Amino acid sequence: MTTHAIKTVLHPVSDLATAKAMYSALLDMAPQTDESYYVGFNFEGQHVGLLPAGGQHGGTGPVAYWQVSDIEAKLAELTGAGATVKEPAHEIGNGQLVATVTDPDGAVLGLLQAQ
């Protein structure tokens, strides 16, 4: 039996500095990744990321990323079951691949393949 887990949640933000301050206060920690293009926190095994200008890519709310072992196979399985690819698989650095799909009701689901 394959186990999948949500280990990453990405939040689109319009003001990265304000969002960083708010999430730092919420999580009682400084971010582990603090760049102009991305801020990330690792909180008790959960990764919380802030994406500046996320709304420019159609992001209006947080997206949970399910960790999978083979992103292309999972995309094929999901589209065969009724999902629509929103963002095809692509590398985001360090060999990690991400993709997003929409379910039949329009909810966005993320997939993450870590190396």
Domain ranges for the chain:
11-59, 68-115
* In contact, 112 and 96? CB cutoff 8 Å: yes
pLDDT in tens, 92-114: 878 899 999 999 888 899 999 98
Which pLDDT score, from 0 to 100, does residue 106 have? 87
Lowest mean pLDDT among 32-36, 46-50, 55-59, 104-108: 55-59
Looking at the predicted structure, is the pLDDT value of residue 57 above 60? Answer: no
> Rounded to an integer, what distance in angstroms lies between the CA atom of residue 28 and that of residue 33?
15
CA distance 12 to 60: 7
3-state DSSP percent of the chain in helix, strand and coil, to 5: 25, 45, 30
- Predicted TM-score (pTM) of the model is 0.80
Just give the CATH number of 11-59: 3.10.180.10
Q: What is the mean pLDDT of residues 33-55?
A: 88
**How confident is the model at residue 23, as a pLDDT?**
95
For residue 83, pLDDT beyond 80: yes
CATH 3.10.180.10 fits 68-115, yes or no: yes
Helix (H) or strand (E) holding 67: strand 63-67
Q: Do domains 11-59 and 68-115 have the same CATH topology?
A: yes
